[in-house]
Structure 1
Amino acid sequence: MLTLKDIRVRLKPVVVAVPHYRYRIGSVCAPDVEGTPEYTPLSREHLKGLSETIVEELKQKIGGEAVVEKPFIIGHPADFNGLYEELTYNIDAIIVYLINCMRPDVFALARFRKPLFFIGYGYWGIRDYIGYKHVYLVRNSEELKPYLRALRAKKYLERSKFLYFGEIPSFSAASSMWDFRNIEEKTGLRARQIEIGDLLETYRKVDEKKAEKVLEEWYKGFEKIVEPTREHLIKAVKLYLTIEEWLNREGANAYTVNCGRLTEKEPIVPCLPMAQHIDKGIMASCEGDISALISMMILHAISGKPVLMGNLNIKGEDEIEITHDVIPPSMGTRKLTVRDYHGRKFGVTGYTPLEKTEVTILRISRNLDKLGVITGKIIDSYDKTHCRISIRIKVKSTQNIYSKAFGHHHALVYGNYLKELEAYTQLTETQLIKLND
């Protein structure tokens, strides 16, 4: 099963060293020399050594954020044709270095339709010259890193597939995107719908001993169990294993469940299975909310962290609340307190307080063309029963959140990833809406 660890951003350094001059150094773009002395082009050996030095320095500065491929040197106009052999589909971006080259030669790089990054201070005006919307100027490798994480998110969606369990649309997530073809065209993310009846047929065939073995592992993460019986817990594990079987069967790595329809057929909820899956890098959203799932996948890929989702509530001029029932255990400050579902004497949910830390909250619009983002800080979290957790978050202002948020389910991750989301919207030609400005 694909996980974020399988996604590596791959960069192709291209060193363009086609000289300005043929015979003598003229007066335009000249180095600090007297008169017009003869021009001696850089040798291949010199360019190779220089390119290797540049690439090693880049590798050291970006660390494990990306794989840096062998540099390609363009020392003659005819060398551009060699890039057709070098640039595979798996290359995510080109890092361009210009050495005494003429800018008309750089224009040819746009034909490969990959993001072009120029690192340093000497490239002002080149975006307008090339006339290609995916030219990015960064002053140093630190400014490059948010783009690398955004490229990882873009690639993660393109390589991923999610399962939708239940009928479409979900009656409780009306603002979500439902068009699978549109999703794939805009993000590359593939999808497959699985009927609840098919899910339950597999559920009823899960081996009891296998479920008991998994439950013994889960017990290690429990602080205490309040309402659920062992039978309730075994049902939760069976659902967890059922979903995993379907993911493996379909080659998928994320999912959403139309929970309302599931509970009509069988008194089980996917809350704890989802929480456990998210900690394994399998993003999962509630209530068949595909927009929430995509938002979770973007935040997960950008941050490398687990993500939760929940209902957005406005609590005042500078405070919001996120409430729901799926809490990845690794996001908590204690082991899980295991409870029932909404105090209804069936189902299994888990509660743990969250860290009081900075967070990024995201939801993508129904048309997948806008990302609404909120940044703030968790000031408290508590067991609300219905929903299991309530997260209080201090924000700058709720005025725009109230009037412009895209639906009620939002994804939440620890940390501030505003720069990465800005980079993501540039790379995907979408719009970032900062809701708490």
Structure 2
Amino acid sequence: MQTEKISIYTLTSELHDEKSVGAVTKEFLESLGIGYAFKGNDYTDYGSSALSLIYVRTGGTEGIFKRLLPSLLEKSGHAPFYLLTSGKSNSLAASMEILSYLRQNGLKGEIIHGSASYIRKRVSLLAKVCQVRKQLKGCRLGVIGQPSDWLISSQANYDAVRSLLGIELVDIPMQELLDVLAMTPESASHETSDVEMVKRALSGANRIYMALKDVITKYQLQGFTLRCFDLLTAIKNTGCLALAKLNAEGYVAGCEGDVPAMLSMMVARSLTGLSGFQANPSRIDPETGEMLFAHCTIPLDMVERYEFDTHFESGIGVGIRGYMKPGPVTIFKVSGNLSRYFVTEGELIQSQAKADLCRTQQIIHLVDKSQTSYFLTEPIGNHHIILPGYHRETLEAIFNSLE
């Protein structure tokens, strides 16, 4: 880890000898095996690095912190306070009093305490989260058309998204995409299909892909969500192939104008570097924890193989049937005002290809079957994001850091 990512500041009681405390400090920090810039009691640039730690070296420091707090809040923008402690010289007790005071005043914080390996892992994760939050500031995500009419709970609070994550949501009229499409020529498709109807639709599906790339460039977007069902009536084709390709190219490309799903995909990609599969829960067994998820597109970089079919609901255009490698997965969703999130882990048992569902279908067994109750009693909309691998701890960390 590079030193500029982590700065360590200190709190020390005047009753303790600096020389002896300094020796303990050196031994403790070197045992952690992390790179850092040691700032001591000079808080001039507090909050300027990716992660600022306050090393509470001794007891009797609570009053010092209380006097510093107004200045620290001004410098850090009310970011959480991370209190590092070795547990020596009553440092843990002081940290607990400080954290309690922060909570009483509606402020967030955490005591980082434990074995050297635990502290190293925790600090590394927090540094990553802080860095991602800084990277998200100024990110631009497009909302092309409004959310589909049936997504009655999948709106977003634009101000909260900007304030808490620094992401700018950009409304783009659907007509603008249709106008770009009208000026985009069809070209021969590199893809093919044994199904004649799908084969004929591939060049038009690629035309949508090229038009969306033009919109991305014009608005300088890192991603978007598309009111894709409008394309079925307007040009008799689907955005499924375009979204599958664009996600694989590193953009976030969501379906049905679902803004919370797009935000979930953006946060997940920023933290993990992975594409996410936006899908509907189609079947839930609360007794076993088995769930079936399905949708008509999946990022091409998530699958071992894929094949083309028609779009399920309309029977036209191009849909994607993707087969992801079985194994650990994470299921994730955040609300449109960022006040709630859900994350759980499971195992992708198999993909299937039933005719009565959207084309990509995944059977997932939740690690904790009790988590099925969330989907049946307090879901955040219908779409959820599936990621390969276990990422619950990482995703929880970023939302626990929000002011």
Aligned counterparts of 1:17 and 1:314: Cα–Cα separation in 2:
54
CA contact (8 A) 2:296 2:319 kept: yes
2:14 matched residue in structure 1: 20
Deviation of the 1:339 alpha carbon: 2.0
Deviation of the 1:120 alpha carbon: 4.6
Deviation of the 1:311 alpha carbon: 0.8
2:64 corresponds to 1:105 = yes
Q: Could you list the per-position Cα deviations for residues 81-114 of structure 1 after superposition, in whole angstroms to 9, with x for gaps in the alignment?
A: xx14x644xx343023355686243442643333
Aligned counterparts of 1:422 and 1:178: Cα–Cα separation in 2:
20
Equivalent of residue 273 in structure 1, options 211, 220, 242: 242
TM-score, scaled relative to structure 1: 0.75
Deviation of the 1:58 alpha carbon: 0.9
Distance change >3 Å, CA 354–CA 169, structure 1 → 2: closer
TM-score, scaled relative to structure 2: 0.81
Q: Could you list the per-position Cα deviations for residues 134-168 of structure 1 after superposition, in whole angstroms to 9, with x for gaps in the alignment?
A: 322223111234434443553454332111112x3
Counterpart of 1:14 in structure 2: which amino acid?
I
User: In structure 2, the residue corresponding to 1:170 is in which secondary structure?
Assistant: coil
Distance change >3 Å, CA 346–CA 400, structure 1 → 2: closer
CA contact (8 A) 1:360 1:416 kept: yes
CA contact (8 A) 1:13 1:97 kept: no
Distance change >3 Å, CA 238–CA 152, structure 1 → 2: farther
1:316 matched residue in structure 2: 285
1:144 matched residue in structure 2: 123
2:16 corresponds to 1:58 = no
Aligned counterparts of 1:96 and 1:183: Cα–Cα separation in 2:
28
Task: Give the fraction of aligned pairs with identical amino acids, expressed as a percent.
Answer: 20
1:338 matched residue in structure 2: 308
Aligned counterparts of 1:55 and 1:251: Cα–Cα separation in 2:
45
Equivalent of residue 82 in structure 2, options 112, 117, 122: 117
The structure with more radius of gyration = 1
Distance change >3 Å, CA 250–CA 332, structure 1 → 2: same
User: In structure 1, the residue corresponding to 2:323 is in which secondary structure?
Assistant: coil
Counterpart of 1:240 in structure 2: which amino acid?
Y
Unmatched runs of 5 consecutive residues or more in structure 1? 1-7, 22-28, 30-38, 60-67, 430-437
Aligned counterparts of 1:350 and 1:365: Cα–Cα separation in 2:
27
Deviation of the 1:181 alpha carbon: 3.3
2:364 matched residue in structure 1: 393
Unmatched runs of 5 consecutive residues or more in structure 2? none
Distance change >3 Å, CA 127–CA 383, structure 1 → 2: same
CA contact (8 A) 1:165 1:258 kept: yes
2:369 corresponds to 1:369 = no
Equivalent of residue 154 in structure 2, options 173, 176, 180: 176
| Superposed counterparts of 1:285-434, under 5 Å | 285-317=254-286, 318-334=289-305, 336-342=306-312, 346-385=316-355, 386-395=357-366, 396-397=369-370, 398-428=372-402
User: In structure 2, the residue corresponding to 1:252 is in which secondary structure?
Assistant: coil
Single out whichever of 417-426 and 405-414 deviates more from structure 2: 417-426
Aligned counterparts of 2:140 and 2:111: Cα–Cα separation in 1:
33
Counterpart of 2:296 in structure 1: which amino acid?
D
User: In structure 2, the residue corresponding to 1:374 is in which secondary structure?
Assistant: strand
CA contact (8 A) 2:140 2:221 kept: yes
CA contact (8 A) 2:292 2:361 kept: yes
Deviation of the 1:408 alpha carbon: 0.9
Distance change >3 Å, CA 322–CA 150, structure 1 → 2: farther
